[in-house]
Structure 1
Amino acid sequence: MEIHRAVVARVRPLSATMIRVTLHGGDLAAFTSTGVGDEYVRVFFPHGPDRGDLCLPTPTENGWQTPQGRPAAPMRTYTVRAVRPEPGEIDIDFVLHAHGVAAGWAASARPGDVIGLNAPTGLYRPPADLRRQVLVADLTGLPAIARLLEDTPDHITTRAIIEVPDRSSVQPLPDRPNTTVTWAFGGNGHGPSRLADLVGAAIPPGTEMSGGYVWVAGQTTALRSVRRYLRKDLGLATERFKVVGYWVPDSGAWTERYDALPSAMRSELEALWANTADEPEDLTIAYEERLSGLGL
């Protein structure tokens, strides 16, 4: 795994709730895009007030480690909105909110600031017979949907549904043939997420999904019922959908509650992944159901 140092080239507001940071320089000449529209990277931020003091971890066989005697760089995961090999630039769109390392950094970002990012990973994998797709996300998934729309062939029918806090978060999206875009308002930490309802309305029971694909991203806990609906209620094959949790409300408190579980309980949760004969999506559903039962 490679970890690249990058320098802020430009910063541009996109809406009341999102800002685009364009990166260049540093080690980005070695950055190789997967070409997958929802590809994401781990972004490493300066650990203190000096925005140029960035301690990047050292890649290891199973991840990375912080150099001895140095503070760990805060890390968050973000979608790569665009890659331009010439002139060697990457765009990352940040959601702006009142808390969090990444949002605070992005709100004050200026040319010359430095951050780090690792090699990207993409999750969007439609089947070979793709003829139509449904893309659903909250504000955090908006950059991925925008890039997916840009990359979708003209003959594919696409329905995109994005839940944003309010109209001030709406952005222009690529105008593509055979594409319908719907904006819904709410959720996003300002109220209950409606992602499950939006998916259910777009793909009601009995929908014929031959040649279809469903991609959903956003609030992790809200997507548990979405995953179960697509897999268990609709009976979709795993190659017909992808559900990606992007964020957890008050993630620090969630982690504290998880860490406070008895060790036997945490071992039980980890053991759920041991049945390699089951489909990964089915294992995920079983794991999420157990978490929900524990109030997590």
Structure 2
Amino acid sequence: MLPKVRAPETRRMITLEVLASTRLSPGFTTVTLGGPELEHLTPMGHDQIVRLFFPREGQDRLRMPSFSNEAWMAELLLMPKSRRPWVRNFTIRRVRPELGEVDIEFALHGDAPASSWARSARPGSPAGIFDMGMSYLPPAGVSWQLLVGEESAVPAILAILEHAPPSLVAEVFLEVPRTADIRPDIVAPEGVRVHWLARDGADGLPGTLALEAVRRSPLRPGRFYTWVAGETRLPTGLRRHLVNDRGVPKSDIAFLGYWRHGRSSPG
């Protein structure tokens, strides 16, 4: 699933270290990274995506790829696993250039490599990032927006809302593992309605509640832009519903499969 992306004008591999780790709720934690090389990151806001590199268990240090272009993946896969770092996609939650800090928010999924690393990250732990750009690109002429995601997309949607203009009108559906993961104090324009959906042990894959909630919703009138992300069945299912059942043009939908249940990411 390859959405349209606005790439950064320049980018390079950036090596950082953990400054702090903050547990937000049972299902979410924020890791703050920093270091002199952060000056090479250009903040874009919204859902700015980075590749996050972190060591595998037992590695004595972080070995980053040397290429700052599309050849980095081939270089990474040629490394033996004894030296190859883990790499995963994450959205920048917040960046504070004046302090040399960037926050990456993690939805904690069992013993997945990124979740395990986020739980164990301590000040001084090495990590690296590589800027991938942003996919939230609403077209001109839409009267409102539909933003949908399960827990893996919650950080991106909250970042989008924090960077939104005061004039934004939107319906937002956020699915989280449990009621304790709902955040009542999010920052959003007055025209935004946020619908929190907690699974609280209910059966079904992440994203099922959000998909069904949108299907049942009357939605607002007028042309709208949709940004949806999460476990791959959510974005593909919602896009199919909007196009087939509501007549939404495909060009007005950005859909991203962040992960697939039962299948690990390469790298």
Normalised by the length of structure 2, the TM-score is: 0.84
Match of 2:66 in 1: 58
Output the amino acid matched with 1:200.
R
Whether 1:2 aligns to 2:12 is yes
- Cα distance between partner residues in 2 of 1:185 and 1:39: 26
Match of 1:123 in 2: 135
Distance 1:152-1:53 versus aligned 2 partners, 3 A rule: same
Q: CA offset at residue 221 of structure 1? A: 2.4
- Which structure has the bigger radius of gyration? 1
Whether 1:242 aligns to 2:254 is yes
- Cα distance between partner residues in 1 of 2:239 and 2:226: 11
- Cα distance between partner residues in 2 of 1:85 and 1:176: 24
1:246 is paired with a residue whose SS is strand
What is the CA deviation profile of residues 199-251 of structure 1, one whole-angstrom value per residue up to 9, with x for unaligned ones? 222356xx6432x2111111112332212122333232233221111111121
- Cα distance between partner residues in 2 of 1:135 and 1:189: 23
- Cα distance between partner residues in 1 of 2:17 and 2:100: 11
Whether 1:112 aligns to 2:142 is no
Q: CA offset at residue 68 of structure 1? A: 6.0
Aligned pairs for 1:212-227 within 5 A: 212-227=224-239
Match of 1:270 in 2: none
Match of 1:173 in 2: 186
- Cα distance between partner residues in 2 of 1:119 and 1:144: 15
Whether 1:251 aligns to 2:263 is yes
Indicate conservation of the 8 Å contact 1:217/1:243, yes or no: yes
Output the amino acid matched with 1:39.
Q
Match of 2:27 in 1: 17
Match of 2:210 in 1: 195
Indicate conservation of the 8 Å contact 1:139/1:162, yes or no: yes
1:112 is paired with a residue whose SS is coil
Match of 2:244 among 232, 236, 249: 232
Q: CA offset at residue 39 of structure 1? A: 1.5
Match of 2:160 in 1: 148
Indicate conservation of the 8 Å contact 1:127/1:239, yes or no: no
Match of 1:185 in 2: 198
Q: Which runs of 5+ in 1 are unaligned?
A: 256-296
Output the amino acid matched with 1:7.
E
Greater share of helix residues, 1 or 2?
A: 1
1:194 is paired with a residue whose SS is helix
Whether 1:39 aligns to 2:48 is yes
Output the amino acid matched with 2:62.
L
Indicate conservation of the 8 Å contact 1:21/1:91, yes or no: yes
- CA root-mean-square deviation: 2.4
What is the CA deviation profile of residues 45-77 of structure 1, one whole-angstrom value per residue up to 9, with x for unaligned ones? 112335x60011121653301376672211111
**After TM superposition, what 4+ stretches of structure 1 lie above 3 angstroms from structure 2?**
66-70, 187-190
Q: CA offset at residue 187 of structure 1? A: 8.6
Distance 1:246-1:239 versus aligned 2 partners, 3 A rule: same
Q: Which runs of 5+ in 2 are unaligned?
A: 1-10
Higher relative contact order (CA 8 A, sep 6+): 2
Match of 2:6 in 1: none
- Cα distance between partner residues in 2 of 1:224 and 1:44: 28
- Aligned-pair identity in percent equals 31
Match of 2:8 in 1: none
Indicate conservation of the 8 Å contact 1:39/1:120, yes or no: yes
